[in-house]
Chain A
Amino acid sequence: MRALVTMVGNDFRQRLRDKTVLIFSLLVPLALMGVLSLTFGRLGNDSVELQPATVVAASEDNGQLGSILLDSLDSLETMDVSIHRVPAEEVSPETRNGGAALGIMIPEDFTTAVTSGEETTIRLIEGNGSPLETSVLISVVTGIVDQFSAGSVTAIAGRIAGLSPEQAAETGRTSAAGPPQLALAEGFAPAEQLSLRASLVAGQTGLFLLFTVGFGVLGLLTEREQGTLARIRSTTAPSWTVVTAKAVVGFLLGVVASAVLLTSGSFLFGVNFGSPLIVALLVTGVSAAATSLTFIVARLVRTAEQANVAQSILAMVLGIAGGAFFPIQSSGFMAAIMDLNPVGAFIRGLGISAGGGGIAEIGAPLAVMWGFAVVCTLASRFLPDRGAAA
């Protein structure tokens, strides 16, 4: 154990001193995140600034609902709407030629028809200039009309139930224009989807983690080349401590670098990955998976230079396939294979965590990452050590 601690401490001292880890594991990804933040700064912001819009309206309704509908549009909080009232025959030309977002024509018997359960029609005319604002206004009108329709249905139901026409109409009005009986509140669900910004932070963290852990086990090859490995093996340090020390160093570097990147990325991009405990479990899992991959690389290559190239290729393949730069969609067998990618599992896990998921919900991504770690570690035991044979 003393030898293990000595070797881990020695490796950390060297890694910190040569600054390579600092540059490639923290500064480069942070700089990349900064550049991407500037480039995609407005994307995934969850808010869009709507432009002021004009609604050309003609209301011939002699009841209250027509006015309620127009007042609702006029008082929208998300958008500055001006109601321009014109005669019915001018709505269409005024909308098309005057730059309005929407034209609306409310018929004369609108309120009566709604409250008595009779059929009636509101005509909408789309303007030319502002498709986004037009769509929003149509959605708002549709929502209000749906509520009016609910009132109409209520009125019909009241009459069928034997209410007097006055009582049925009053019930219909209440249903159409009264306060809602149900309220919606915005919340989070443990979904696997991250916002674009959060995906960027998670993906870059997963990608650079694969580079960072390489400073651990792959350091064995450097030691072999500079002769210090032979010297260590001639000492009283048990042979298992040599590889274990490198693995511990790679793993810890991966955990620390990932934690720093997720934290600083969260501040840079203004995203939240949820419970720190859940994030810590995910970081631990993906670091273990990435470290195990370096065991395979260390076996298959002969020199430190070859190891760096192989590790870079694997990092890019796993990173891109896992969604480090953009989400990758696949189906069938390929989807099953892609699901085994630890970087993908890491990003999915962070999505679940960001959506409020707990330990139970991240079980599958964790299983993928730790399963990957176990399989790679075992597989490396059966691979020929080409570096030692060189």
Chain B
Amino acid sequence: MEREPAPPLTGTALTARNLVKRFGDLTAVDDVSFQIRPGETYGLLGPNGAGKTTIISMVAGLFPPDSGSVDVTDIRMGPSSLGAKRHIGLVPQELAIYPDLTAEENLNFFGRLQGLRRKDLKSRVALVLDLLGLGERAREQTKKYSGGMKRRLNIGVGLLHRPLLLILDEPTVGVDPQSRNSILEAVAQLSTEGTAVLYTTHYMEEAERLCDRIAILDQGKVQAEGTRDELITLTGGVDRINLIGTGRMVAAAESLRTVPGVQQVSGGGLSGLTLTVTDGPALLASIITNAATAGMAVTSVELTRPDLESVFLHLTGKALRD
């Protein structure tokens, strides 16, 4: 990607301090703080409804927090903070583009709103269209585009004006694997060129692949924050075993909780049982035997070494996609 590097920053690209946002009785975001450095990709990982989009909205200045603050570089962000907004590029979860306009017209429109002037705008639009692989269909109305093309344009609008902080809200939802891969590569490339990236997702694989640091969110709160490896250590290095089967699932769960090395047993319905254990390979035979003794006919066993899914399960007691 031919892209001018972002101006070097000495401090942080983004500082969010003690953010709180309530909607009526619901506390959507509860005392969330984090920082992002230039060139760093920071992930907000959590299930739907965890508060990721609300955090993003406050960071992008769409609405103010009830308490707490957001600073982009050293400029306080708010709905009327045009100075701070100059440095961010927002890629909303929805396809925030005009279907009746062409890709070129969409880019021109949002580029002008971000303050790009004629000559610079023209060159930036051409560059982004080329980057997105949309150059040949730049003058076609976007309603005729495939889903993947629309997604790519959606991202292109966000990075058109070379923002210091790129905010991506679940950018790969509903995207085919090929487009998804190209989006992830583009984000990684931007990061290496100095752009700070705030990336929300409920896909554990994306967070692991892209993010330098990750905050695990649940019910509006940061449950844990750190690098992937730091987060994994929170589980105590435990493995995860999924048992699928029929029969007396509840009795089996009760029995498995007494097995030495088994830390947690969840599930028990038709989907089977999920166990967190200290040394999965060593305990596997014992676990299957105990389950069978308790009346469960095991039909499938899956052993997973620690990952962010395990961390989430460990921290919240539920699976990331529950």
Residues of A within 8 A of B (CB): 2-3, 6-7, 10, 13-14, 17-18, 226-228, 230-239
The one of B85, B96, B99 that contacts A236, using a Cβ cutoff of 8 Å: B85
Q: Which A residues touch B105, using CB under 8 A?
A: 10, 13
**Beta-carbon contact of A226 and B82 below 8 Å:** no
User: How far, in Å, is B13 (CB) from chain A's closest CB?
Assistant: 16
In the complex formed, the residue of B with least CB distance to A232 is: B113
Of B57, B98, B112, B114, the contact of A228 (CB 8 Å cutoff): B98
A236–B82 CB distance below 8 A: yes
Q: Provide the bound-state CA to CA distance between A10 and B101, in Å.
A: 9
Contact B112 A14 (CB under 8 A): no
Cross-chain contact B101 with A235 (CB below 8 angstroms): no
Instruction: Report yes or no: B95 in contact with A227, Cβ–Cβ below 8 A.
Output: yes
Query: B141 contacts which chain A residues (CB < 8 A)?
Result: 17
Cβ–Cβ contact B96 & A228, under 8 A: yes
Pair B57/A6 contact, Cβ less than 8 Å? no
- When chains A and B are docked, how far (Å) is the Cα of A239 from the Cα of B64? 14
User: Of B79, B86, B94, which contacts A233 at CB under 8 A?
Assistant: B79
Contact check, B110 vs A235: say whether CB atoms are below 8 A apart. yes
CA A237 to CA B101, docked complex, whole Å: 20
Check if B247 is an interface residue, CB within 8 A of chain A. no
Q: Does A227 contact B100, Cβ atoms closer than 8 Å?
A: no
Q: Determine if A6 and B113 form an interchain contact, defined as CB atoms under 8 angstroms apart.
A: yes
Binding site of B, secondary structure by majority: helix, strand, loop or mixed? Answer: loop
B92/A13 in contact, CB under 8 A: no
- Contact check, B60 vs A234: say whether CB atoms are below 8 A apart: yes
What is the total number of residues of chain B having a CB less than 8 Å from a CB of chain A? 30
Residues of chain B with a CB closer than 8 A to A226's CB: 94-96, 98-99
Q: How far is the CB of A7 from chain B (nearest CB, A)?
A: 8
Contacts of B100 in A (CB 8 A): 14, 17-18
Residues of chain A lying within 8 A (CB to CB) of residue B85: 234-236
Q: List 10 A-B contacts (CB under 8 A).
A: A3-B112, A10-B101, A14-B98, A226-B98, A227-B93, A228-B96, A233-B60, A234-B88, A236-B113, A237-B113
Let me know if B80 and A231 touch, CB within 8 A: no
In the complex, whether B97 has a CB less than 8 A from a CB of chain A is yes
| A231 in contact with B98 given A2-B112, A6-B112, A236-B85 (CB within 8 Å) | no
**Majority-rule SS of A interface residues:** helix
* Binary A-proximity of B63-98 (CB < 8 A = 1, otherwise 0): 000000000000000011010011010101111111
Hey, which chain B residues are within 8 Å of A239, CB to CB? 79-80
Closest beta carbon of chain A to B82's beta carbon, Å:
5
CB neighbours of A228 from chain B (8 A): 96-98
B86–A236 CB distance below 8 A: yes
Contact A231 B82 (CB under 8 A): no
Cβ–Cβ contact A238 & B96, under 8 A:
no
Q: Is the CB of B110 within 8 A of A227?
A: no
| B145 at the A interface (CB under 8 A) | no
Q: Are B113 and A230 in contact (CB under 8 A)?
A: no
Residues of A within 8 Å of B79, CB to CB, are 233, 239
Given A227-B93, A235-B85, 13 further pairs, Cβ under 8 A: A6-B113, A10-B101, A14-B100, A17-B100, A226-B96, A226-B98, A227-B94, A234-B88, A235-B110, A235-B114, A236-B114, A236-B115, A238-B80
> Complex formed: what's the CA distance from A121 to B37 in Å?
113
The reply to whether A6 and B109 contact each other, CB–CB distance below 8 Å, is yes
B61 touches A234 (CB 8 A): yes
CB-CB < 8 A to A10: which residues of B?
98, 101, 105, 109
User: Smallest Cβ distance from A146 to chain B, in angstroms?
Assistant: 71
- Residues of A close to B98: CB separation below 8 A: 10, 14, 226, 228
- Closest B residue to A3 by beta carbon equals B113
Given known contacts A6-B109, A235-B110, A230 and B82 CB-to-CB distance under 8 angstroms? no
User: In the complex, what's the smallest C-beta–C-beta distance from B260 to chain A, in angstroms?
Assistant: 52
User: CB of B253 within 8 A of chain A?
Assistant: no
Please report the C-alpha to C-alpha distance between residue A227 and residue B92 in the assembled complex, in whole angstroms: 7
User: A227 to B109, alpha carbons, bound, how many Å?
Assistant: 15
Q: Which residues of A contact B113 (CB under 8 A)?
A: 3, 6-7, 232, 235-237
State in angstroms the CA–CA spacing of A228 and B110 once bound together.
Answer: 10
* B60: chain A residues within 8 A (beta carbon): 230, 233-234
Bound state CA distance, A379 and B61, in angstroms?
27
Which residues of B lie under 8 Å from residue A17 when comparing CB positions?
100-101, 141
Q: Which residue of A lies closest to B158 (CB)?
A: A231
Is B50 positioned at the interface, with any CB of A under 8 Å from its CB? no
Task: Give Cα distance in the complex from A227 to B157, angstroms.
Answer: 13
Bound CA–CA A234/B88 (angstroms): 8
**B157 CB to nearest A CB, Å:** 7
Chain A nearest CB: distance from B116 CB in Å?
A: 10
- B90 pairs with A230, CB closer than 8 A: yes
